[in-house]
Amino acid sequence: MTNLKIPSHIGIIMDGNGRWAKMQNKKRIFGHEKGAEVAEKIIQYSTDIGVRYLTLYSFSTENWKRPKDEVNFLFKLFIKYLETRLRKIISKGVKMRFSGNLSELPQDVQKSCKKIQEISKDNKKLDLIMALNYGGRQEIINAANNAIKNGKSEITEDDISLNLYLPDVPDPDLIIRTSGEIRLSNFLLWQSAYSELYFTKKLWPDFTENDYLEAIKEYTKRDRRFGGIGSDENANR
């Protein structure tokens, strides 16, 4: 553990709940239930190892394409977690925040989100960001439109960065995706320009603290050049 570089901001695309359930001849919703338990463990572990921001991709703007029953189940699960398990987690210094177009969500989901955000707003240990009805393209369009509303006729990089849903949150250092899919699926498109990407075949309900640590170990080995020259070359100059 000693030489691990802990990323300041980790984003996770928690994928594979449906396939996990199918493998055990269960309905997809069982996978979501197990997935929520795993998320809770990973949040707890993130606070233990000193991650400062954790963004969990929980519902994408494209997930509305799923059967109505599944979508409704997910919303019920979010409310249940926000009202119970996450309440416990925020008592340990976690600040709950949300990223996405919340106004399109059912009223009771919006209410639970606002409540927990308000209760935890002064916490400083970990910013836990739930990406809910989130789409990276929509976020960029929204930012550009905000800049135009503020009188801009030509958009700069800062105009986008400063008008994102959560402009104070630094770009993710590491993005993890489970389930073997090698894509971003509209997650943090603007912010991921220089993120380190880590893909694992593990399905989200099977993901453990140890798998998380493996991802961080791999991140520790990466040389982040940001378009410059490597740190080794710098040392030899």
Binding residue for ligand IPE (CB under 6 A) from 7, 9, 11, 14?
A: 14
Q: How far is residue 58 from each of residues 15, 18, 98, 150, 210, measured CA to CA in Å?
A: 9, 14, 10, 31, 22
Distance CA 96, CA 32 (A): 20
- The DSSP element (H or E) to which 108 belongs, if any, is helix 107-119
Comparing CA positions, the residue from 132, 148, 160 lying closest to residue 63 is: 132
Tokens read off for 29: 């919703």
**Annotation-wise, does 66 bind a ligand?**
yes
Binding of residue 69 to ligand IPE (CB under 6 A): no
- Decide: is 57 part of the binding site for Mg ion (CB under 5 A): no
Q: Longest C-alpha distance within the chain, in Å?
A: 61
Task: Decide if residue 196 touches Mg ion (CB under 5 A).
Answer: no
Residue closest to Mg ion when measured from CB atoms: 15
Q: Under the criterion CB under 6 A, does residue 17 sit at the interface with ligand IPE?
A: yes
Q: Which residue is nearest to ligand IPE (CB)?
A: 18
Structure tokens at 169: 């949150």
CB of 89 to ligand IPE, least distance (A): 19
Residue type at 18? Answer: G
Which residues in the chain belong to E strands, given as ranges? 9-13, 53-60, 94-99, 126-134, 174-177, 196-199
Q: Active-site positions?
A: 15, 63
Taking the least distance from each CB to Mg ion, the nearer of 15 and 171 is: 15
Say how far residue 206 (Cα) sits from the centre of its chain.
18
Binding segment toward ligand IPE, per CB under 6 A, in 149-157, 175-183, 189-197, 223-231: 175-183
**Least spacing, CB of residue 37 vs ligand IPE, in Å:** 13
Q: What are φ and ψ of residue 59, in 5° steps?
A: -160, 120
Query: Does residue number 171 form part of the binding site for Mg ion (CB under 5 A)?
Result: no
Q: Which of 203, 210, 199 is nearest to 21 (CA)?
A: 203
Judged by CB under 5 A, which stretch of 15-23, 55-63, 95-103, 134-142 contacts Mg ion?
A: 15-23
Q: Report what 57 binds from ligand IPE, Mg ion, none; CB cut-off 5-8 Å by kind.
A: ligand IPE
Stretch that binds ligand IPE, among 7-15, 111-119, 136-144, 154-162 (CB under 6 A): 7-15
Tell me the C-alpha distance between 147 and 167, whole Å.
Answer: 13
> Does 38 help bind ligand IPE (rule: CB under 6 A)?
no
CB of 59 to ligand IPE, least distance (A): 5
Minimum Å gap between C-beta 12 and ligand IPE is 8
Q: How far apart are CA 211 and CA 221, in angstroms?
A: 16
Binding site feature residues for substrate:
16-20, 28, 32, 60-62, 64, 66, 177, 183-185
State the residues that interact with ligand IPE by CB under 6 A: 13-19, 57-60, 63, 74, 179, 181, 183, 185
